[in-house]
Amino acid sequence: MSDDHDHDHDHDHDHYDSPKSRRPRSEFELRTMALEAALVHNGLLATDAVDAFLEGIEHRMGPHNGARVVARAWIDPAFKARLLADGSASVAEMGLAGPEGDTVRVVENTVDTHNMVVCTLCSCYPWPLLGLPPIWYKSFAYRSRAVSEPRAVLAEFGVSLDPSVEVRVWDSSAEVRYLVLPQRPAGTDRLSEDELAALVTRNSMIGTAFADHPSTQG
């Protein structure tokens, strides 16, 4: 499952026109392109507004925000307790609340339990904390298989779990969006909050990956 995507219009979206991906466009991309083109053609949407919106998402929202939340929870037990009890309030406490992230529930991975997140109906997702959802998250294959065969899906992402570990799948919706609090990697006791945040990936906060270990980073 790949995150790469490209996007062509009569105007440029640099964030979409990356040469690293020249695969066929997905159904979602084609539908989005058609909708945007129709709105622009009928004077209901300006291309500059689209660019400004996407730029705002890329700079103000994204997994770097979620990583800050996770790192804070790893080093601050009191904050972690508040985060698990009321994710929305704790995220707002860090100034990270916003559209598509007003109601957030945080679920914790432990040695006995592994959580993963899906939106079975569409692509509900905590944008302020994770940015735009990846293409695979919106795909029918992921939305259906994450529920019916979660261990197989996790294995495809490279997540191998002991049979004794319980897998819990959480269905995000417009009412509540989920964020996974991954396990803190071993051997990170002396790392700073910023160094810990660098180990937290978007996929680890969806549950389709573990947090990175310092030894895996260059």
Q: pLDDT tens for residues 21-54?
A: 445 666 766 777 787 788 777 877 777 766 655 5
How far is Cα 150 from Cα 147, in angstroms, rounded to an integer? 6
Q: Which of 18, 21, 88, 119 is labelled catalytic? A: 119
Residues 173-181: what's their mean pLDDT? 94
Please report how many Cα atoms fall inside a 13 Å half-sphere around the Cα of residue 91, on the Cβ side.
28
Of 21, 123, 139, 173, which residue is the catalytic one? 123
pLDDT score of 10 more than 60: no
Q: How far apart are CA 143 and CA 63, in angstroms?
A: 21
pLDDT tens, position by position, 133-176: 899 999 999 999 999 999 999 999 999 999 999 999 999 998 89
Please identify which of the residues 122, 144, 160, 192 carries the catalytic annotation: 122
123 catalytically annotated: yes
**pLDDT higher than 60, residue 18:** no
Residues of the chain with pLDDT > 90, as a percent, come to 59
90, 124, 172, 204: the active-site residue = 124
Percent of the chain topping pLDDT 70: 77
What pLDDT shows up at residue 3? 41
- Reported pTM: 0.74
124 belongs to the catalytic site: yes
Q: What is the 3-state secondary structure (H, E, C) of the chain?
A: CCCCCCCCCCCCCCCCCCCCCCCCCCHHHHHHHHHHHHHHHCCCCCHHHHHHHHHHHHHHCCHHHHHHHHHHHHHCHHHHHHHHHCHHHHHHHCCCCCCCCCCEEEEECCCCEEEEEECCCCCCCCHHHHCCCCHHHHCHHHHHHHHHCHHHHHHHCCCCCCCCCEEEEEECCCCCEEEEECCCCCCCCCCCHHHHHCCCCHHHHHCCCCCCCHHHCC
**pLDDT band of 185, cuts 50, 70, 90:** very high
Q: Calculate mean pLDDT across residues 80-85.
A: 98
Length in residues, the chain = 218
Task: Read off the pLDDT band of 55 (50, 70, 90).
Answer: low
C-beta atoms surrounding 26 within 10 Å: 14
